Amino acid sequence: MVTADKGGVEDYIQAVTQKGGTACLWLLEKLLQIQVCARCCLRFAGVSGDIYAPPAPSIRDLQAAVSDAHGDAQADGTAAGAEAETHPCPLCLGALQCTDGGALPSPGRNISAAVQQSRGSPQPWIPVTAASIAAIAEAVRQEGHEFSSFWLDVSLPGATQVRQQAIWHWLRRDAAVLPLLPGHSPSVDMVDLKVALRHTLGEPLARQLHSKQDPDADLRIGLTFAHPATAAEADFLFGSNSKGRGAKRKRGAAPVQLGRSASDALGQAAAKMMESKFGEEVRIPSLPPAQPAFAFARARREAVYIGGYYLKLQRDISHSPFIIDGVRKGRTSIQEEIERVVLPHLRCDGSKFISAGREDMDVRMLGSGRPFVLEVANARAAMPPQECFDQMAASLNSSGVGVEVRKLRPVDKDILKLIKAGEQEKQKSYLATCWLPCPVTPAILDKINATENLVLQQRTPTRVEHRRAMLVREKTLFSMSATPVQDNPQGLMLRLRTQAGTYIKEFVHSDEGRTTPNLASLVGCAEPARILQLDVLEVHMDFI
C-alpha cells in the first residue's frame, strides 16, 4: 500500500500514480465524475498515510490536475467540480470532507436522541456542528479527562459500506478501470474509511490536545457519524427494510431510524449479494446525499480496576446497598464504604463492585479478607500513585465503621478471571457457633474431628429460593474440628473448611431436611441443630 507524507493536488496525483501508474488516473477520473471526494479517491486507489491530514484539494482542482495529466482537458470537468463542492461525498457521506472545517447541520433533538439510544450509554454524545479538529478537541476538553494518550473509536453509518459496494460494482463495468480493482469486494487493497479518518484526524488532534495516539490508550475519543438514510439504504441486507408500503402508521412523529452501523458483517453481506439483486435495492452508482452525516463526539476512559481484600469486622453490614420496599437493611454496605474512599479520587461516572463470593449480612469476614475488584467507569482523573491508595485504605480502616481493606491497588482487567474462577474453585474456612439438641460429649467431638471429605447434597435453601434456581448442589466439606463452649453443655464451636458455594448455615440446621447429611444427623441427634453465629475465617485463593 502506497504511503504519502503530505497533501496537495500534486501530491495526490503522485501518490495515485505511484500506486498503479498513469492507469490509476482513469480510476480518479471515474470517481470524480460522480463527485467522490478527494480523500475517498485516495482510499479507492489504496493510498494510505499522512497525506490525509492536511486540508484536501477541491474536487475541481483535482479534476483539472487529472485532465492535465491525461493531456486533454475535460470540457465539463469544471462545472461538475463546482457542483461537487456543494454536495457531500456519495461514498463517505461527507465524513472525510467536514474535517477541513466546513459547517455541519445541527442534528436536532430527534437525531440526537436516536444516536444516544443506539449507542446504549448514559454518557451523552456531543453534537459537533463544525467538525474541524478544533471543534472535536473542544468536545473532548469538555469531558475534563486527564490523559497523555488517546485512540479514536470511529462509528460510521452502514450506508457507507452499501454505497462503497455500489460504486465498486459501477467501476468494474469499465474495462479501463477493471484491471485496477482486483478481487470481488472493495475490501481488497482499499483503505478502510475508519483508517482514513484516523489518518485525517489523528495527528492534528493529538497536537491540539498536547497528547499522542496509542491504540492501547485507555482514553477513547469516540467519533460517531449518523445518517438517517442508513435505515433505508442498508438494513435490506438483513431483511429488516420495511413492513410493506401499505402498512398503517401510528399517529404522531415517527422515531428516527438510523439503521445499522458499518460493520464487517454488513460489508460481507453486501459483497455476497449478486450485483443484479443488489441493484434492485441500491442505485448504482450512488448519488451524493442531500445532506452530510451528522457528527457526534465524546471522550470516555475505558474501565479501570481497583483491587484488594476487604474485611467485615462487624455484623449488620450488607455486601452492597440492601433496600427492600424503600427500607434500608443494615447499617451500611461494604461496597458503599469502599466507594466512599476511592471514587472521589477518580472523578468517575460510577462503579461496579465484584468480589469472590459474598457473606450474609450477619456474617463477619475475618482473616486475610475476601478478594474484590472495583470496576470504575469513565474515570476522568489519572490513576493516582500507590501512596494515594495506601492513604485511602488507612482512612477507611481508621473510621471504625466495621469495614477494612488490605492491599488496595490498581489491577489489570485480567484479574476478573481469577475472581470468576475463584467462585467455583476456591475453598473457605469458617467458624460457626452452634447449639445441639443434645449434650456435647467426647464421642460427638471425636466424630466431628474425624470427618473428612464429606459430600453434602444441598437443595436450594428456602432463604434464597426466590432468586436462585431450585437445584440439588453437591458440595464437599473437606475437614471439621469442634470444641465445646464453656458454661454451655450443648454449645459447640465448629471450624470447617469447605468447597466454594457450600451453605454452612443449612449444613448446621439442615433447612428442614434440604441438606443431607447435616450436623445433627452426623452426630446422631434426632432434632436439628441451630446456628448462633457464623464468621468466615479465610478465603483460600491466590489473588494479589
Closest CA to 216 of 314, 147, 164, 165: 147
Other CB atoms within 10 Å distance of the CB of residue 450: 10
Residues 6+ apart with CB under 8 A from 185: 165, 168, 267, 271
Give yes or no for a contact between 102 and 37, defined as CB atoms under 8 angstroms apart: no
Residue position matching grid coordinates 505511484: 18
Residues 6+ apart with CB under 8 A from 248: none
| Continuous segment of H or E residues that includes residue 274 | none
| Continuous segment of H or E residues that includes residue 351 | strand 350-355
Three-state SS for 53?
A: coil
**Cα 221 from Cα 237, distance rounded (Å):** 30
Strand duo 149-155 + 452-459: pairing: unpaired
C-alpha cell at 51: 497525506
First to last CA, the chain: 46
Compute and round to an integer the Cα radius of gyration of the chain: 33
Catalytic residues: 360
Determine the distance from the C-alpha atom of residue 199 to the mean position of all C-alpha atoms in its chain, rounded to a whole number. Answer: 24
**Cα 493 from Cα 507, distance rounded (Å):** 14
Please, what is the angle between helix 24-33 and helix 159-172, to 10°? 120
Other CB atoms within 10 Å distance of the CB of residue 188: 12
Other CB atoms within 10 Å distance of the CB of residue 414: 8
Give yes or no for a contact between 32 and 64, defined as CB atoms under 8 angstroms apart: no
